Structure 1
Amino acid sequence: MKKFWKWKNQQVWNQETQTETVERTLLLNGTIAEDSWFDDDITPQMFKEELMDGKGNITVWINSPGGDCVAAAQIYNMLREYEGKVTVKIDGIAASAASVIAMAGDTVLMSPVSMMMIHNPMTIAFGDSGEMQRAIDMLSSVKDSIINAYELKTGMSRTRLAHLMDAETWMDVNKAIELGFADEIIQRNGAVDELEVPQVSMLYSKTAVVNSLMDKIAEKCRIQQENETENSNKVKVDSLMSRLHLMKNWR
């Protein structure tokens, strides 16, 4: 079993209380669980034991393209139940299942160059129509559970969140803050940006891009068809003029 998480503890001096405290840091890098946590009792228990093997606030650094949604759900629940404050910091990408884990943070911070992506859950199924329908029902239930986490964090309607997942939505830090998936921007020195969020933000939707491309192709075909119609009419006029000249000369 290859661990995708790593714990780091370090002593931090608190200027306000003039005391030294232990800061716990959880690093989540790469794919969330190479092996599925479904029906796995050992790996989730190992993660939970390491999580509970200390006290105090936790900073979770995420840079992951996603992975096993079962593992993400269990990690989300464990972090939500943890007694200390959980601060999530996204320094690269929090996509798919990793975005679910990010929702467990009491505060979610993103780097100015980081990205977040949400989409519908996926699986591989094999069998007859009954097996396919059971897979569809399972994916629908998983999607509902994921929306629960997004809804609690963002306060958005379930319908709108479902549409964003359908479209495979990518967000930069400003759009993530605007929609409620993140709270603040991480500055280079580690401080939090207290300035007003810029008006320029980026939201990329795979579905929107495909639809836009199809609209442009349809418009191009329409113009081409109109040009062909005009050229066709022009040929007919030229042919008519030639016939008139022939008739005139015949006389």
Structure 2
Amino acid sequence: MKRKFWNWVRNEGEKRVLLLDGEISDETWWGDEVTPQMFRSELNAAEGDIDLWINSPGGDCYAAAQIYNMLMEYKGNVNVKIDGIAASAASVVAMAGSTVEISPLGMLMIHNPMTVSIGDTHEMERTITFLAEIKESIINAYEIKTGLSRAKISRLMDA
């Protein structure tokens, strides 16, 4: 089995502890036994509030979107604690927290979505449209959590 980017430190009792550590990878998320269903099964295997510790450079935005949605639907509170970095796609996961705390030494990094594309001008235009749509979906999570305007969040992502 490939290394999961999440690990349950404590998964029973009053408070569950989940570590999201490392790259949120599409390679292990989609291509083998480390699947969204596996994360969902582990998430729903017990009840109670969760302390989610994040130290991740980010990774695949689709996998992050699924984690975000699963955590938002979870019946207990999800208390996010950023002790290292929640960058890129990991910052989206952090937005699913009932509460979000960051260490005085921690970092949260947001940016515009990126990809690699090859092709003619039509393909490049489709890619630009695709990236703009992804950006709008990411802004949804930041807007819900922060209450900042979409325009302000967009400028922050541009910067």
Mapped to 2, the partners of 1:123 and 1:36 lie a distance apart of 18
Mapped to 1, the partners of 2:126 and 2:37 lie a distance apart of 29
**Which sections of structure 1, spanning at least 5 residues, go unmatched?**
12-20, 168-251
RMSD: 1.9
Pair 131,39 (structure 1): closer, same or farther in 2 beyond 3 Å: farther
Structure in which a larger fraction of residues adopt helix: 1
Mapped to 1, the partners of 2:78 and 2:123 lie a distance apart of 40
Name the structure 2 match of 1:71: 63
Aligned runs of 1:52-63 on 2, under 5 Å?
Answer: 52-63=44-55
- Asked if structure 2 preserves the Cα contact closer than 8 Å seen for 1:92 and 1:114, the reply is yes
Higher relative contact order (CA 8 A, sep 6+): 2
Name the structure 1 match of 2:94: 102
Name the structure 2 match of 1:138: 130
Identity %: 61
Mapped to 2, the partners of 1:10 and 1:36 lie a distance apart of 22
| Corresponding pairs, count | 158
Name the structure 1 match of 2:14: 22
Q: Which digits, 9 at most, give the CA deviation of each residue in 1:162-215, with x for residues without a partner?
A: 000000xxxxxxxxxxxxxxxxxxxxxxxxxxxxxxxxxxxxxxxxxxxxxxxx
Aligned runs of 1:182-197 on 2, under 5 Å?
Answer: none
Partner SS state of residue 36, structure 2: helix
Partner SS state of residue 35, structure 1: helix
Bigger Rg, structure 1 or 2 = 1
* Selected match of 1:155 from 124, 138, 147: 147
- Structure 1: which amino acid aligns with 2:3? K
Report the alpha carbon displacement of residue 35 of structure 1 after superposing the two structures with TM: 1.3
Mapped to 1, the partners of 2:75 and 2:14 lie a distance apart of 15
Name the structure 2 match of 1:8: 9
Mapped to 2, the partners of 1:44 and 1:88 lie a distance apart of 20
- Asked if structure 2 preserves the Cα contact closer than 8 Å seen for 1:99 and 1:116, the reply is yes
Mapped to 1, the partners of 2:125 and 2:150 lie a distance apart of 23
Q: Which digits, 9 at most, give the CA deviation of each residue in 1:24-75, with x for residues without a partner?
A: 1110111111517569896111111110111010110000111100011000
TM-score under structure 1 length normalisation: 0.60
Aligned runs of 1:1-251 on 2, under 5 Å?
Answer: 1-9=2-10, 21-33=13-25, 35=27, 37=29, 43-167=35-159
- Structure 2: which amino acid aligns with 1:125? S
Report the alpha carbon displacement of residue 135 of structure 1 after superposing the two structures with TM: 1.1
- Structure 1: which amino acid aligns with 2:94? A
Report the alpha carbon displacement of residue 133 of structure 1 after superposing the two structures with TM: 1.3
Mapped to 2, the partners of 1:99 and 1:93 lie a distance apart of 9
Mapped to 2, the partners of 1:98 and 1:104 lie a distance apart of 10
Mapped to 1, the partners of 2:71 and 2:126 lie a distance apart of 30
- Structure 1: which amino acid aligns with 2:52? V
Partner SS state of residue 112, structure 1: coil
